[in-house]
């Protein structure tokens, strides 16, 4: 299981405090080593569910011939947020307060399938 949060390196750094360069290097290494990988993609409405990120997920999925599992956002971890002081962009004020709808989740799955992803469900 390999988490992929944000494709754009600048946005990734703004959201997590780090670029995604090392993450990509690790994925390349595991792929070359023949590891059985599932690309787990946490999706947060309005934060990282834009078309460019979905296309980035599809690119990685196809390049490494790996399945994709989406992990829809849930507000159950809001208490952890206070411990993530290095993440300036994400705050309690700009995260959704509810679960994404079934329709939203289905739209993500359909968009990824149209982009050529093999979905792990």
**What's the average pLDDT block by block, 10 residues per block, for the chain (121 residues)?**
94 91 96 96 91 97 96 68 52 61 93 96 79
Number of domains in the chain: 1
Question: pLDDT value at position 16?
Answer: 87
In a domain, 93, yes or no: yes
In a domain, 120, yes or no: no
Cα 84 from Cα 81, distance rounded (Å): 5
DSSP-assigned beta bridge partners for residue 43:
72
Please give the model's pTM, rounded to 2 decimal places: 0.82
Question: pLDDT value at position 100?
Answer: 84
Range of the domain at 8: 2-114
What CATH number is associated with residue 41?
3.20.20.70
Question: pLDDT value at position 99?
Answer: 77
Cα 99 from Cα 86, distance rounded (Å): 25
In a domain, 121, yes or no: no
Asked whether the beta carbons of 31 and 64 are under 8 A apart, the reply is yes
Cα 90 from Cα 26, distance rounded (Å): 25
In a domain, 68, yes or no: yes
DSSP-assigned beta bridge partners for residue 4:
none
Residue 59 φ/ψ, nearest 5 degrees: -60, -45
Question: pLDDT value at position 88?
Answer: 47
């Amino acid at each position: 299981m390999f988490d992929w949060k944000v494709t754009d390196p600048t946005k990734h750094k703004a959201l997590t405090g780090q670029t995604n360069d090392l993450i990509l290097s690790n994925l390349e290494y595991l792929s070359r080593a023949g590891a059985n990988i599932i690309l787990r993609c946490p999706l947060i409405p309005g934060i990282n569910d834009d078309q460019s990120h979905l296309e980035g997920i599809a690119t990685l999925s196809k390049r490494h011939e790996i399945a994709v599992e989406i992990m829809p956002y849930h507000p159950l971890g809001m208490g952890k947020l206070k411990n993530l002081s290095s993440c300036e962009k994400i705050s309690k004020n700009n995260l959704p307060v509810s679960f994404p709808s079934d329709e939203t989740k289905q739209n993500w799955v359909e968009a990824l399938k149209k982009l050529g992803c093999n979905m792990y469900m």
